[in-house]
Amino acid sequence: MSRSRRAVVSPHDLADFADLVRVALGSGFTVLRALALVCALSSTGVASAFAMVLVPADDSSPLDALAALPEQLGDAARELCVSLVASARYGAPAAPALERVAFELRLARRLDAEARAKRTSILLLLPLVLCVLPAFVLLAIVPLVLGALAALPGATS
């Protein structure tokens, strides 16, 4: 698979993947071993992209491939990859960073869902205006107007 091509990554899948890696790291696994374990147990596109990192195609190390992974997965995976690389190379604690990454991804997903819900209420006005209101006019207003016209003096029956 070409590294220049961008994969479509769900923020929900990325947040779940970050949580699973955090649990594996909390269990005492190294970063690469935790990634291998989570990739073996998960069947998402995020897991398959991270699994490809563990076996780089060229002579680069898995950590170099992990650092380059946001080019393939997009900016949503950047902070996750930076945290994992920093933890593997320098011993920085990854659990707080992964928890924050998962929280931010879920927050972005929730805000996106709220924005879609607001758009849905606007879109639901279209059937109301085109279907319900004309039916109301035909069933309630038109008979009243016809009845009033028929009751006018000089109306022919």
The answer to whether 83 and 77 are in contact (CB under 8 A) is no
How far apart are alpha carbons 102 and 140 in whole angstroms?
54
Q: What is the pLDDT along the chain (157 residues), one digit of tens a residue?
A: 444 455 667 777 888 899 999 999 988 898 999 999 999 988 888 888 888 888 866 677 888 888 888 888 888 888 889 999 999 899 888 888 888 988 998 898 899 999 999 999 888 888 888 888 888 889 999 999 998 888 888 766 5
